[in-house]
Amino acid sequence: MTDAAETGTVGAVESWSLVGDAVAVSVGSVTEVLRARIADGKLESLLESSSGRTLFVVSNSERATVMLLDHPGDPGEHATDPGAKDWSDGFVLSNGQADEYPDADTVPLAEAFRIVRHILATGRPPADAAWAVDR
């Protein structure tokens, strides 16, 4: 069963745009926007909401780290993959820095897209997503 956040039928709590490109993104378009950026080698994406929150997504084309920050300087919160034991590399930031993360602090790309769509639709991660608060 697909919930309303997956279909984009829930009204957005806040509006979101892609920082640097000033491209507005919606629940229905965000997966396509992120996939296109990844295909173009832009593995880091920063979305900013109308309320000043930021959603950081960085991928290595297979996994992604998804972080939600309430304000500048906020340690935020992030998606997790409990039980994952390995590390993955290839997370290239816009400044050229290439990072490696424990898989426990990243999620498969499809899960990252699901989480991002839900945050855009409801303002919070899905209740069934593993999530760590870093504050």
pLDDT digits (tens, 9 = 90+) for 25-82: 999 999 999 999 999 999 999 999 999 999 999 999 999 999 999 999 999 999 999 9
Q: Rounded to whole angstroms, what are the CA distances from 88 to 23, 25, 67, 85, 120?
A: 29, 28, 17, 10, 26
- Structural domain boundaries, residue 80: 4-133
In the block, tokens 């000043």 appear at 52
Res. 21 pLDDT band, cuts 50 70 90: confident
Indicate whether 110 pLDDT > 80.
Answer: yes
d(CA 46, CA 48) in angstroms, rounded, equals 7
pLDDT (tens digit, 9 = 90+) per residue, 33-42? 999 999 999 9
pTM: 0.88
Q: Are the beta carbons of 111 and 125 closer than 8 angstroms?
A: no
- Our count of domains for the chain comes to 1
Q: What is the DSSP letter of 95?
A: T
Single-letter amino acid code for the residue at 41: G
